Structure 1
Amino acid sequence: MGIEVIIEKYNHHWITQYENEKTNILNAIGDFIIDIQHIGSTAIPGLGAKPIIDMMAGVSHLNGFNKFIDPLHLLDYEYVPKQEVIDRKFFRKGRWRQGTVHLHICEYKSNEWKEKLLFRDFLRAHPNKRDEYFELKKKLASKFKFDRPAYTAAKTNFINDIIKLACLRYNIK
């Protein structure tokens, strides 16, 4: 049996948790970071989420990302290699196989960077779409209660649709 997918109501403490982690990360590897952002559902006021803070750090390039592993390990972050993902590096902090914080490191202003911010910012600006996403997440959490990969995969079409809609709305090609 996998880890249970639990969606909680929005918690304003997620912002404080993000700010604390941001400070710690910048103290550890800030010389390499161009920008760091709170992304994902916990970054969208009013949106329920798994209680995991998603963060994205933008760097000039991913070559040599290994230099982040030891300093982040001192902050209890574990590097999780994902062979299928080449445009970002993933670190997890917290409970085994789930974590309390997920740190995504990607190239600043790459497509990965832009799409994550587009998605977040569009849902922040459009409460109707935010609420639609919350309903979808609750439905999928019930359907895939112990299958987090399936839960995540089932959200992909909605996320891609929002990114396309945001590109149209903001005239981004």
Structure 2
Amino acid sequence: MTADRDADDVSGRRDRITIVAYDPRWPASFDHQRNRIEAALGNGLVGRVEHVGSTAVPGLAAKPIIDMLALVSDYDQTAGLVTALGDIGWVHAPEPGDHERRKWSFCYPDVVWRTHHLHIWEVGSPDWRRLLPFRDYLRRHPDLAAEYARLKAELAAVDDSDRPRYRSGKAPFIQDILRRAVPGRAGAGS
């Protein structure tokens, strides 16, 4: 399979939206891949790779795909990044608009059966900054994390193959959490 194939439709198979109970092994799986990524990319990274998204919130039901965030100072200074990640089994999986938004996406072990999804952003981009406050707020508010889990399960139950509808259905909840987590600032995401 090539990296630029659409993950939502490969050989007629759909990448279904499946929400599962929280798996206490997710943090260890994240740590394992973080260590591999940090070793492969070394000084090309700004700070540590972060565990983001629903799998980063203890107790939160989620799609069983571990979302990860890595920052680089400038894409023009990241020669070899795709090769370095490819050498450790990560597949470059560009999403629509990645270059315009200064973001790169990678999947492990492949696009369709991925267990991990790595989002690499330029540190100067404002777009990644919603991920950490959203995660941290849900970690501090298990009642809201449970509400988010219910919403995701309901959306997936209606149509488990319509990712745009799933994302747009979550957007109001995410924006509300971001307004609470970062007063004066809202956005879509996670």
Q: TM-score, normalised by structure 2?
A: 0.82
Q: Distance in 1 between matches of 2:84 and 2:171?
A: 32
**Contact map agreement 2:138 2:145 (CA 8 A) in 1:** yes
Structure 1, 18-27 or 144-153: larger mean CA deviation: 144-153
| CA distance in structure 1 between the partners assigned to 2:51 and 2:18 by the alignment | 20
Letter in 1 for 2:119: H
Q: By percentage of residues, which structure has more helix?
A: 1
> What residue number does 1:59 align with?
72
| Alignment partner of 1:106 is 2:121 | yes
Q: 1:79 to 1:165 in 2, by over 3 A?
A: same
1:2, 1:147 within 8 Å by CA — same for their partners in 2?
no
What are the within-5 Å matches in structure 2 for residues 62-73 of structure 1? 62-73=75-86
Identity %: 35
- 5+ residue gaps, structure 2, are 1-12
> What residue number does 1:138 align with?
153
- Structure 1: state its 5+ residue gaps: none
Count residues with an aligned counterpart. 171
Deviation at 1:136, TM superposition (A): 0.3
Structure with a larger share of its residues in strand: 1
Go from structure 1 to structure 2 and tell me whether the alpha carbon gap of 1:23 and 1:95 turns closer, same or farther (over 3 Å shift): same
Runs (4+) off by over 4 Å: none
Q: Shift in Å at residue 64 of structure 1?
A: 4.2
Bigger mean CA offset, 106-115 vs 5-14 = 106-115
Q: What CA deviation, in whole Å up to 9, does each residue of 1:102-151 have, x standing for no partner?
A: 00011236422321001100111111211110000110110121223432
Conserved? CA contact 1:2–1:148, under 8 Å? no
Q: Quick one: which of 67, 85, 90 aligns to 1:77?
A: 90
| TM-score in terms of structure 1 length | 0.89
SS at structure 1 position matched to 2:61: coil
How far off is 1:27 after superposition? 1.0
Q: CA RMSD in A?
A: 2.0
